[in-house]
Structure 1
C-alpha cells in the first residue's frame, strides 16, 4: 500500500523539482520557499487522489493523470513565481522534458543492470541510490546544457508558437510510448527501444528550445538595433539642421558683437560681451575636421559635454574616415560618445570628467580611439559586450553591439579595455 502511494505521487514531485531547477533565474513571489513546500504537498495529495479515484483502463487513466498533473504543476509555478501563466506552463513543459529524460534513463539503466524493469524505485537502497544518481545527474546536465539560458532578466522571452510546435510534435509521442511500455512490461527489449526513443525526443525538445531562444534573442537584438538606427537617423537629420541654424546665427552675432564693441561701454558690459564672444566662437569654430559628418557629431556631443561640465577634446583627421557611409559613421560615433558621456556624468568631481577622442593613421591602419575617465570597478568580458546599468534593459545596452557591427562591416576590429582610471574604446581599420 505504501509503495503504491509513493509510486502514485513520485511523478509530480519529480516534475515540480525539475521545474524549480528550470526557474532558478525567474522572479519569485513573496514567501516563495513556503509556497514551494506547500505546492509539493498539494501536488502529492492531488496525484494520490487522481490515482485512486479516476476509473478507467491504463491508457485513459494514465492520460488523465498526466494532463491534470502537468496543468496543476503549471498553476503552482504561476503561484510561486512572478511570471505569466503561459510562462509558467512553458517552464513546466521544459521541466517535463527534463523529468521524462531522467525517467527513461533510469529505466534504461535498470534494464541494463538487472535485466528487468523495477516494480518500484523504493525496493532497496541500491535502487534508490541509482535513482538519485541518475535523476540528479540528468537534471544538472540538462539544466547546464539547455535550460540555464532560456530565461532572461527574470522571465522567458520566447516565440511561443514555434516552441509549442516542438512540444506538440514530440511530447505526446513520448507520452504514448510511455503508456505503451507499461502495457508491454514483460518485454525488456521493447521497453529499452522505447526508452532510447523517448530520451532522444526529450533531448530534441530541449535542444530546439535552446536554439529557438537564440533565434528570438537575435530577433530582439535586430529590432532594437533597427530602432536605434532609426532614432540616430532622425537625430542626425535634426542635428544637421540645428547646427546649420546655429552656425548662421553665430556669424550674424559676431558682426553684431563687433558693432557693439565699437561703442563706448562700461567695464561690466565689455565683460559680458567678451563672454558672449567666447560662447559664439565655441559654437562657430569648435571642430573643423574636413568631414561634415564628424563636424556635426562632434559639435553635438561637445554641446552635451559643455552642459554637464565635461572636458571634451578631439584630435581628428576627418579625411581618414571618409571611406565610411555617413550614417554608419554618425551612429558609430554617436553610440561611442554617448556611452562615454553616460559613464563620465556619474563622476562627482567635475575636474575628473574627461573625454578625449583621436582619429589617426599608423602605418597601414586607421585608428579611432575614445578614452573617458572611469572610476568604477568595471570589468570588460572577453567578448567586449558590456551589460547596461540602466533600468530599461530592453532598449539599452545595445550601443556596443551596434558599434561592433558597424566596425565589422568595414572589416575592422573593436577592442574595449580599462587602463587604470581610463576606459578605452579602439576601432582599427585597414587602409
Structure 2
C-alpha cells in the first residue's frame, strides 16, 4: 500500500515536472480572470479549454524534443493558445485577452522563480535532501501565488480593462514577458547542474525582482486607464452641467417674469375675488417668486432651481449662504459643486421612509481665510466607503458615483480639501477652500 502511494506521488511529481509550466499558467490565468463575465455555454467552454491546454502540453512533451529552440517555441505556442482560449471562454476583446495573459504569464513566472528559490533554500539552509526539491516546489507555489494574488491580482478585481490606448506598450510588455520566461528558462537548462550556486541564485533573484516590477507596471497601466476614463466621464458631466446651468438660468428668468406679471394681475382683481382665495393664490405664486440673493448669480440660479425641487418633494431646505466669496470660482464649477452636493442630499432624502425626518441644511461662509462649505442631510441604510468616498448604492461603480468624485475634483482644483462623515443616520459633506491663493 505504501509502495503504491509512493509510486503515485512520484508519478504526479513527474507529470508536474513535464507539464508544470502549463498548469501554473492556467492557475495564474484563472486568478486574473475568474471574476470576468463568461461567454455563453461557459460550463462547457471552460472545461474544454482547460483539457485542451493540458493535452497540448502532454502532446508537445511527447513529440517535440527539448532543445533551446524548441523551448522558445514551446512557450510562445503555450502563450498564444492560452490567449485564444481565454478569448473563447471569457467576454473580453483581443487586447484585453492579451493584457490578462501577459499578467498571468508574469505571475506564473513570479511564482515559479520564488518557489524554486525557496526550495533551494530548504536544501542549502534547511539541510533537506536535494531529491526533495522537486517534491517541495509544487507545495511552495501556493504561498507564492497567495502573495502575488494579494499584491497584484486582488487590487485589479472589479476593474475591467476597457480601453488600452497606449500604442505599442501592450505588445512590448507581452514581448518582455515572453523574453523573461523564455530566456530565464533557457538559463535554467544550461545551469541545471548548479541550481544552488551563487551565480544561479543572483540571476534568480534578479529575475524575481523583474517579475515584481513588471506586475507593478501592469497594475499602473490599469490604474492610469481607469483614471483617464473617470476623467473623461467627469469632463462630460461638467459639460452637461454647464449646458444645464444655462438652461436653468433662462427658465428661472422666465418664471420670475411670469410670476411678477401674475401678482400684478391678482392685485388688479381687488375685491372681485374672495380675500382668502387671493391669499392662497399669492402664497402659491410666492413659492416661485421667492428671490434667492446670495451675492453670486450662478449660485442664485442653482439654489432657486433646487429650492423648487425640494418644495415639490416636501424636503425642508434650510440654507445660510454667503455667495460673495465665491467670485474666484468659475460659474460652471459653482454649479457642478453645489448642484451635485444638493442632488445627492435630495436623493438621500427620497430614501427616507419618514417624511418628518427629511431635511437639507446648507451653510456657506468665510472662516479664517477659508471658504467653508457644509451640506448635511439624513440617510437611510448603510454606506460603504472606498478611498474616502461613499460607494454608489446604484449597483454599478462604473457609471454611477461620479457626483461626489466631481465635488472632490473641483475642491482640489482650487487647492481645497473635502471630507465626508456619515454617522448616526446623518450625512455631512464639508469642504474648505483657501481664499488667498497664489
Do Structure 1 and Structure 2 share a fold, with TM-score over 0.5? yes
Show structure 1 runs of 5+ residues with no match: 116-120
**2:142 — aligned with what?**
136
Partner SS, residue 422 of structure 2 = strand
Decide whether aligned partners of structure 1 residues 362 and 93 sit closer, same or farther in structure 2, where only a CA change above 3 A counts: closer
Partner SS, residue 421 of structure 2 = strand
**2:127 — aligned with what?**
none
**2:416 — aligned with what?**
412
**1:172 — aligned with what?**
179
- By how many angstroms is 1:77 displaced? 3.4
**1:335 — aligned with what?**
340
Backbone CA RMSD of aligned residues? 3.0
- Map Cα deviations across residues 205-247 of structure 1 (whole Å, 9 max, x no partner): 2111111122212211211221121111111111112111111
Please show how residues 6-21 of structure 1 align to structure 2 within 5 Å.
Answer: 6-21=16-31
Contact 1:157 1:213 in 2 (8 A): no
Q: In the alignment, which of 186, 194, 201 is matched to residue 193 of structure 2?
A: 186
Distance in 2 separating the partners of 1:317 and 1:111:
71
**2:430 — aligned with what?**
426
Distance in 2 separating the partners of 1:157 and 1:165:
19
Distance in 2 separating the partners of 1:91 and 1:347:
43
Contact 2:318 2:361 in 1 (8 A): yes
Structure 2 residue 347 is matched with structure 1 residue 352: no
Distance in 1 separating the partners of 2:412 and 2:384:
23
Q: In the alignment, which of 278, 297, 302 is matched to residue 283 of structure 2?
A: 278
Structure 2 residue 301 is matched with structure 1 residue 299: no
- By how many angstroms is 1:281 displaced? 1.5
Partner SS, residue 27 of structure 1 = coil
Please show how residues 381-420 of structure 1 align to structure 2 within 5 Å.
Answer: 383-391=387-395, 393-420=397-424
Distance in 2 separating the partners of 1:157 and 1:151:
13
Distance in 2 separating the partners of 1:272 and 1:30:
66
Decide whether aligned partners of structure 1 residues 138 and 237 sit closer, same or farther in structure 2, where only a CA change above 3 A counts: same
Contact 1:170 1:201 in 2 (8 A): no
- By how many angstroms is 1:4 displaced? 4.9
Q: In the alignment, which of 32, 47, 52 is matched to residue 22 of structure 1?
A: 32
Q: In the alignment, which of 105, 109, 131 is matched to residue 114 of structure 2?
A: 105
Structure 2 residue 66 is matched with structure 1 residue 62: no
Decide whether aligned partners of structure 1 residues 164 and 344 sit closer, same or farther in structure 2, where only a CA change above 3 A counts: farther
**1:215 — aligned with what?**
224
- Map Cα deviations across residues 106-155 of structure 1 (whole Å, 9 max, x no partner): 3344455547xxxxx9x64x64234412x1222121222222223435x3
- Map Cα deviations across residues 76-108 of structure 1 (whole Å, 9 max, x no partner): 434554444543342222111111122223334
**2:257 — aligned with what?**
248
Partner SS, residue 347 of structure 2 = helix
Decide whether aligned partners of structure 1 residues 421 and 183 sit closer, same or farther in structure 2, where only a CA change above 3 A counts: closer
Contact 1:35 1:80 in 2 (8 A): yes
Decide whether aligned partners of structure 1 residues 95 and 227 sit closer, same or farther in structure 2, where only a CA change above 3 A counts: same
- Map Cα deviations across residues 303-356 of structure 1 (whole Å, 9 max, x no partner): 222333322222222224334332222211011111111221222433333212
Contact 2:71 2:182 in 1 (8 A): no
Contact 1:336 1:399 in 2 (8 A): yes
Q: In the alignment, which of 169, 189, 199 is matched to residue 208 of structure 2?
A: 199
Partner SS, residue 411 of structure 1 = coil
Distance in 2 separating the partners of 1:130 and 1:9:
14
Decide whether aligned partners of structure 1 residues 362 and 64 sit closer, same or farther in structure 2, where only a CA change above 3 A counts: closer
Partner SS, residue 156 of structure 1 = coil
Q: Give TM-score, length-normalised by structure 2.
A: 0.84
**1:313 — aligned with what?**
318
Show structure 2 runs of 5+ residues with no match: 1-9, 125-129
Contact 1:414 1:428 in 2 (8 A): yes
Contact 2:161 2:225 in 1 (8 A): no
Contact 1:332 1:402 in 2 (8 A): yes
Contact 1:355 1:372 in 2 (8 A): yes
Decide whether aligned partners of structure 1 residues 377 and 392 sit closer, same or farther in structure 2, where only a CA change above 3 A counts: closer
Distance in 2 separating the partners of 1:277 and 1:344:
28
Decide whether aligned partners of structure 1 residues 347 and 239 sit closer, same or farther in structure 2, where only a CA change above 3 A counts: same
- By how many angstroms is 1:295 displaced? 1.0
Distance in 2 separating the partners of 1:211 and 1:333:
33
Contact 2:234 2:402 in 1 (8 A): yes
**2:3 — aligned with what?**
none
